[in-house]
Structure 1
């Protein structure tokens, strides 16, 4: 627990800064405010202020989260969707966020990641190699039909 006691104005300024350098979801902001020792009634007041002043926008958060996790971490749609659900993002915003990823970019990133992982796994036994690469891609949240089709293609060509 934080030992400093914050006024509503101090807590608001601190959380505005917290939201300004990276998009946040409501849950992250509430957790941060609780860690500052802010009481629930004041948290509600600050959340309303943040939304009214566009520091907190769940749709914007979901869209930037989806784009970032796909482009940087190469996550598939299942993983992105599950991570957004864990953050209590609405189904509407999750659907909107997943539309941020262009289908051609999605497939291109999948093929690049699969081929890179295939080349990185040094396993003589073809079945074991397919399992290792497949498990990796499934953990990243890629659709199983994409994974299995790609594994067949890779095992034939290598």
Structure 2
């Protein structure tokens, strides 16, 4: 099947809609642009346009990503950070946006997941505890934070 060709303005509009549908980061937009045969100058022009018109805003993306992954998916900071780095978000930006997660909510989330998971485990207390800590760490919660709560 041959690729349908679009005009520059049609491609630009498609990318605007892509950004409007949900916050995107630069890497996602660049990935999306690969679907269209664009020269580098055209890609740069579209990226600049999206940024200038505030369709593409890396900080807004990062903040919304952090909120969603914590409050909806219940991920810890380590897992969120790893996934943002895969999207080529800088450490500096990630760190400055982590204030989207309220520290009390973070501790409460660890407690809640701990209690829910721990209560479903079988075996000796130390096995249940160790399994639960491993589980929380796989969700991206920091070992120090987990153990602090239960000291």
Normalising by structure 2, report the TM-score. Answer: 0.90
Conserved? CA contact 1:25–1:56, under 8 Å:
yes
Structure 2 spans left out of the alignment, 5+ residues: none
Conserved? CA contact 1:2–1:37, under 8 Å:
no
Q: Where does residue 147 of structure 2 map in the other structure? A: 148
Normalising by structure 1, report the TM-score. Answer: 0.86
Report how many aligned residue pairs link the two structures.
151
Q: Where does residue 34 of structure 1 map in the other structure? A: 34
RMSD: 1.9
Aligned pairs (5 A) from 1:42-81:
42-81=42-81
Shift of 1:149: 4.4
Aligned pairs (5 A) from 1:6-155:
6-121=6-121, 123-150=122-149
Shift of 1:2: 7.5
Shift of 1:129: 2.4
Conserved? CA contact 1:2–1:36, under 8 Å:
no
- Which region of structure 1 is more displaced relative to structure 2, 134-143 or 32-41? 32-41
Conserved? CA contact 1:2–1:35, under 8 Å:
no
SS of the equivalent of 1:35 reads coil
For residues 62 and 138 of structure 1, the distance between their equivalents in structure 2, rounded to whole angstroms, comes to: 22
The structure-2 alpha-carbon separation of the partners of 1:68 and 1:4, relative to structure 1 and needing over 3 Å to count, comes to same
For residues 53 and 75 of structure 2, the distance between their equivalents in structure 1, rounded to whole angstroms, comes to: 31
Structure 1 spans left out of the alignment, 5+ residues: 154-158
The structure-2 alpha-carbon separation of the partners of 1:142 and 1:2, relative to structure 1 and needing over 3 Å to count, comes to farther
